[in-house]
Amino acid sequence: MTVRDKKKYREAALKAWKTMKSRKREKATKDTQKITEFMSPAAMQKIEHPETSKYEETPEPVWTGNRIVVPFHKTPLNIGCGMFWELRWAYGCPLDCSYCYLRGTTRGKMNPQYVRIDHVLGALDEAFIKIPSPSIFNAGELSDALMNPQIMAQIVERFERQSKHKIYLLTKFGLRNIQFLLDNPRKQVICGWSINAPAVAKLWEKAAPSPEKRIEAAKQVSIAGYDTRIRIDPIFPIQDWESHYEKLLDLILSNLKPDRIILGTPRGLWKTIKYAKEACADMSWTRFFGEDSGWGKKLPFDQRKDIYELLCEKLDSLHYPLSRVSICKETEEMWNAMKLNFIPRLCNCYGKNALQP
168: amino acid identity, one letter: Y
Pairwise CA distance, residues 105 & 110, whole Å: 9
**Position 9 confidence tier, pLDDT thresholds 50, 70, 90:** low
Q: Which pLDDT score, from 0 to 100, does residue 48 have?
A: 66
Task: Kindly tell me if the per-residue pLDDT of 277 is higher than 60.
Answer: yes
Domain limits, the chain: 27-354
pLDDT tens digits, one per residue of 288-330: 999 988 778 999 999 999 999 999 999 999 999 999 999 999 9
**Position 3 confidence tier, pLDDT thresholds 50, 70, 90:** low
Three-class DSSP category at 238 = coil
Q: Which pLDDT score, from 0 to 100, does residue 24 have?
A: 54
- Residues 192, 328: contact at Cβ < 8 Å? no
Pairwise CA distance, residues 155 & 145, whole Å: 11
Pairwise CA distance, residues 57 & 147, whole Å: 33
Which strands sit side by side in the sheet containing 291-293, from one edge to the other? 267-268, 296-298, 291-293
The CATH number for 27-354, chosen from 3.20.20.140, 3.40.190.10, 3.50.50.60, 3.80.30.30, is 3.80.30.30
DSSP structure class, residue 54: S
Q: Which pLDDT score, from 0 to 100, does residue 35 have?
A: 44
pLDDT tens digits, one per residue of 155-191: 999 999 999 999 999 999 999 999 999 999 999 999 9
Average pLDDT, whole number, for the chain? 88
- Residues 159, 199: contact at Cβ < 8 Å? no
Q: What is the mean pLDDT of residues 206-230?
A: 98
Find the DSSP H helices in 148-284: 149-159, 179-183, 198-204, 211-223, 241-255, 270-278
- Residues 318, 250: contact at Cβ < 8 Å? yes
Three-class DSSP category at 290 = coil
Task: Kindly tell me if the per-residue pLDDT of 31 is higher than 50.
Answer: no
Choose the most confident range, by mean pLDDT, from 20-24, 37-41, 277-281, 282-286: 282-286
Q: What is the mean pLDDT of residues 117-125?
A: 96
Choose the most confident range, by mean pLDDT, from 7-11, 35-39, 88-92: 88-92
Q: What Rg value do the Cα atoms of the chain yield, rounded?
A: 20
* Of the candidate ranges 64-73, 106-115, 165-174, 239-248, the one whose mean pLDDT is the lowest: 106-115
